Structure 1
Amino acid sequence: RLLRALTNLVDNAIRHTPEGGIVTLRLEPSPQGVVVRVEDTGPGIPESALPRLFERFYQVDSSRANRQRRGTGLGLAIAHEIVQAHGGTLKAANRPQGGAVFEVHLPLTPPQSSL
């Protein structure tokens, strides 16, 4: 399921990056586990949208994207839920040089299943 979460983040970055732009995937160790960063050179995310970005069916202002690039508003919410189920966090921010960055922080050992 983690692969699904990362695929959703990369697909989202590609969808919102203009032709000729760059999408970067980085994997870095951290003292608590691992950090996966998905960065793009797209238009970034309006500050007003950041608090709601991981809500199901939420979409950033539809006038900003053409219909071919619009999703269902579920990909980021699903990614967020999967990451949380593995004991991690998912954060979104704008890059100072433009574009967006999504950071997945995962612990070295996932939480024990209640099953």
Structure 2
Amino acid sequence: EVHEVVNYIAKKKNIKVKYEFKNKDIDLWEYSGYIRQILLNIISNAIKYTGENGSVNIKQYIKAKKVFIEVKDNGIGIPQEDIERIFERFYRVDKARSRSVGGTGLGLAITKHMVKALNGNIKVESELGVGSKFIIELPFNTELAKKVS
């Protein structure tokens, strides 16, 4: 579902979206609404702040009984002084640029709230002019997870 939405946006800017799922047999079905919205927010932001002909890579893997989802782009990046504040409600890194790309400044705040509600964590690594990587870490209970055959 997320792919269909973000792929439409990516095609307009000729951005290549690549998926690398190490564990294709897991399904976090009990969190599906939150997972869908988290991914939609993070991936669409990556596309929004990546220039024409750029790339966005989504990677999923399990480590130490946790599911990790990384969304990495080669977009404009985030200045180091703003990284601590990007998850605040209504915070915009560049007010002038924000007008041209749209949004309310709530997406990352909502995303962080949903990740925390799932007992997870979200962090970002970024370099101005190089791109950003958002890392979502969620607990993974193998007893609750539905295995897909």
| 2:95 match | 62
- The gaps in structure 2 that reach 5 residues or longer are 1-33, 142-149
Q: TM-score, normalised by structure 2?
A: 0.68
Unpaired runs of at least 5, structure 1: 110-115
How high is the TM-score relative to the length of structure 1? Answer: 0.87
Runs of 4+, deviation exceeding 4 Å:
none
Q: How far has the Cα of 1:95 moved from its partner?
A: 5.4
Whether 2:49 is the aligned partner of 1:16: answer: yes
User: What is the aligned-residue identity percentage?
Assistant: 38
SS of equivalent to 2:90: coil
**Does the Cα contact within 8 Å between 1:90 and 1:104 map onto a contact in 2?**
yes
Q: Which has a greater percent of helix?
A: 2
Matches within 5 A, 1:71-110: 71-94=103-126, 98-109=130-141
CA distance in 2, matches of 1:96, 1:45: 5
- Cα deviation digits, residues 39-94 of structure 1 (max 9, x gap): 1100110101111110011110223x263313210001111000000000010111
SS for the counterpart of 1:72 is: coil
The separation in 2 between residues aligned to 1:13 and 1:97, in whole angstroms, is: 13
Superposition RMSD on alpha carbons, in Å? Answer: 1.7
Q: Identify the match of residue 43 of structure 1 among 59, 76, 81.
A: 76
The separation in 1 between residues aligned to 2:35 and 2:47, in whole angstroms, is 18
Distance 1:3 1:35, change over 3 A: same
